[in-house]
C-alpha cells in the first residue's frame, strides 16, 4: 500500500528535535520557526513534558469517558486558571476541526437555530461544519456545502450590523479567529470583536472564538481575542494545547448548559492526552511563556518593520506574517534550503512565523540576519 498523496512535501526527514531545533536524517540542524504548523508550544521534547507522558503511560494510557478521569478535572482547573476563564467548562476532543464542530453544534443546541456567520479568509478545519465555515471552496466537498453559512467581510462592523439587522433572529453563532492564520495573519480589530460580542448578546447568538492557531499564549495573551477586552462564549483550542500530542477542546461559558449525550468522543480527554496537556500548561506557567511570546514577538515585529521591500508585517506575539511582493516569492524556500530555517507560509507570498513560545533573542536574531541577507 502507498500513501494517499494529499500533501506537497519538502524533501526532508526530521529525526531528532529539541527546543526550537530539529535535525534531519543526515545530521543537518535547522531552526524551527514553524513549530510543526503552530503546534510546538513549549519546545520539542521538553523534559518535563516527556516525563509526564512517559510516567502516565506506565500507569494507564487510555480508558473511555464512561469512568471518572481525575486528570480531566485537574486539566480543566489548570486551564481555567492559566487562561483566566475559571468559571468556564471544558469539553475535550482530539483536533481543531472537531473542536469547532462541537462549538458550532453546541451553539445550535443552545439556541435552536441553524445560521452561522463566518468571515472572508477564514479557516476552521476540514470536517463537515468546520469546513462549511471555511472560506475556501476548493476544500468544501459538495456534501459539506450549506446555505446556512454566510461569509461576511473580515473587520467590517457595518456589514456585520447590517447582516444581524436582516437575519439576527435566525443566527446561531458567529465564528472568528482572533488572528487569521491560514488566511495570511490578519488581526481581528478590537472594535470588530466588541461588535460581535454586542450583537451576539442582543440577538442571543453564540460568539465562538476559534483559538486553534492564535490561542494558547501565542499572541502574547492566552487567547488573542482577549486583546479586545470582551469574552467569547466558546473558545476552541488544539495545536499548542498538546505540544504535538493530539488533544483539543472547547472552553464553554457558564450560560451554556450541558446535557448527557449532547457531545461525546471515544478518544477525547484520555489519560495520556490529559498528561500531555497538563505538562504544557505547567511549563507555560512556570516559564512565563505567554510573556515571552509577547516580548520576543514585539522585538521581531519592530525589527521586521524596519526592513526594506516587505509589503507589510502583521500579527501579534509569536504569530507573525511577513507579506512579501511577488519578486521575493523564493525567500521562504531560500530560508529553508540556504539558511536552514523552517517557516510557514500563506497565499500568495506571506511568510508565517509560528515558533515555539520559548524562543529567545538568539533565535530571533538568527532569523533576522538570514532574512536581511535574502532581502539584500
Q: Which residues bind ligand PLP (CB under 6 A)?
A: 95-97, 100, 123-125, 177, 181-182, 210, 212-213, 238
**Closer to ligand PLP by Cβ: residue 100 or 370:** 100
Cis peptide before 348 (omega within 30 of 0): yes
CA-based max dimension of the chain: 61
Shortest Cβ distance from residue 64 to ligand PLP (Å)?
22
Shortest Cβ distance from residue 370 to ligand PLP (Å)?
25
Which residue(s) pair with 313 in the sheet? 322
Q: What is the DSSP string of 232-301?
A: -SEEEE-GGGTTTS--EEEEE-TTSPP-TTSS--SSTT-HHHHHHHHHHHHHHHHTTHHHHHHHHHHHHH
Task: Tell me how many degrees the CA angle 290-303-237 measures, rounded to the nearest 5.
Answer: 30
**Closer to ligand PLP by Cβ: residue 91 or 164:** 91
Distance from first CA to last CA of the chain, Å, rounded?
Answer: 47
**Closer to ligand PLP by Cβ: residue 328 or 355:** 355
Instruction: List the 21-24 sheet strands across, edge first.
Output: 14-18, 21-24, 29-32, 341-342
How far is residue 120's CA from residue 97's CA, in Å, rounded to a whole number?
18
Q: What is the DSSP string of 305-320?
A: TTSSS-SEEEEETTEE
- Using CA of residue 195, residue 345, residue 49, residue 289, what is the dihedral sign? negative
**Closer to ligand PLP by Cβ: residue 238 or 256:** 238
Shortest Cβ distance from residue 97 to ligand PLP (Å)?
3
Phi, psi of 257, deg, nearest 5: -105, 140
Shortest Cβ distance from residue 130 to ligand PLP (Å)?
7
**Closer to ligand PLP by Cβ: residue 96 or 220:** 96
**Closer to ligand PLP by Cβ: residue 164 or 207:** 207
Shortest Cβ distance from residue 166 to ligand PLP (Å)?
27
DSSP one-letter code for 188: P
Give Cα separations from 374 to 8, 30, 307, 342 (angstroms). Answer: 24, 17, 11, 15
How far is residue 222's CA from residue 159's CA, in Å, rounded to a whole number?
29
**Closer to ligand PLP by Cβ: residue 125 or 315:** 125
Shortest Cβ distance from residue 68 to ligand PLP (Å)?
27
**Closer to ligand PLP by Cβ: residue 53 or 212:** 212
**Closer to ligand PLP by Cβ: residue 46 or 213:** 213
Size of the chain in residues: 376
Amino acid at each position: 500500500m502507498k500513501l494517499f498523496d494529499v500533501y506537497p512535501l519538502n524533501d526532508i526527514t526530521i529525526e531528532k528535535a529539541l527546543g526550537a531545533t530539529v535535525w534531519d536524517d543526515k545530521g543537518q540542524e535547522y531552526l524551527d520557526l514553524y513549530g510543526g504548523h503552530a503546534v510546538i508550544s513549549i519546545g520539542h521534547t521538553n523534559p518535563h513534558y516527556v516525563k509526564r507522558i512517559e510516567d502516565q503511560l506506565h500507569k494507564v494510557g487510555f480508558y473511555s469517558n464512561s469512568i471518572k478521569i481525575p486528570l480531566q478535572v485537574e486539566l480543566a482547573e489548570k486551564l481555567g486558571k492559566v487562561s483566566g476563564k475559571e468559571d468556564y467548562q471544558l469539553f475535550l476532543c482530539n483536533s481543531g476541526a472537531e473542536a469547532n464542530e462541537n462549538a458550532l453544534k453546541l451553539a445550535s443546541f443552545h439556541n435552536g437555530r441553524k445560521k452561522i456567520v463566518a468571515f472572508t479568509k477564514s479557516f476552521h478545519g476540514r470536517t463537515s461544519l468546520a469546513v462549511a465555515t471555511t472560506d475556501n471552496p476548493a476544500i468544501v466537498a459538495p456534501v459539506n456545502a450549506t446555505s446556512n453559512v454566510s461569509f461576511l467581510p473580515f473587520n467590517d462592523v457595518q456589514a456585520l450590523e447590517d447582516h444581524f439587522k436582516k437575519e439576527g433572529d435566525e443566527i446561531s453563532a458567529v465564528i472568528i479567529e482572533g488572528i487569521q492564520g491560514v488566511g495570511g495573519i490578519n488581526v481581528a480589530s478590537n472594535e470588530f470583536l466588541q461588535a460581535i460580542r454586542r450583537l451576539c448578546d442582543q440577538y442571543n447568538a453564540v460568539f465562538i472564538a476559534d483559538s486553534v492557531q492564535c490561542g494558547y499564549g501565542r499572541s502574547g495573551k492566552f487567547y488573542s481575542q482577549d486583546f479586545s477586552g470582551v469574552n467569547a462564549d466558546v473558545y476552541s483550542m488544539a495545536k499548542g494545547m498538546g505540544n504535538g500530542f493530539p488533544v483539543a477542546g472547547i472552553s464553554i461559558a457558564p450560560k451554556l448548559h450541558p446535557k448527557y449525550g449532547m457531545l461525546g468522543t471515544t478518544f477525547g480527554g484520555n489519560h495520556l492526552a490529559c498528561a500531555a496537556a497538563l505538562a504544557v500548561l505547567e511549563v507555560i506557567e512556570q516559564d512565563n511563556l505567554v510573556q515571552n511570546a509577547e516580548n520576543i514577538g514585539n522585538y521581531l515585529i519592530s525589527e521586521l518593520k524596519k526592513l526594506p521591500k516587505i509589503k507589510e508585517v502583521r500579527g501579534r506575539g509569536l504569530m507573525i506574517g511577513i507579506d512579501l511582493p511577488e519578486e521575493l516569492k523564493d525567500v521562504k524556500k531560500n530560508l529553508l534550503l540556504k539558511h536552514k530555517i523552517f517557516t510557514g507560509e500563506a497565499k500568495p507570498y506571506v511568510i508565517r512565523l509560528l515558533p515555539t513560545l520559548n524562543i529567545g533573542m538568539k533565535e530571533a536574531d538568527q532569523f533576522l540576519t538570514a532574512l536581511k541577507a535574502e532581502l539584500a
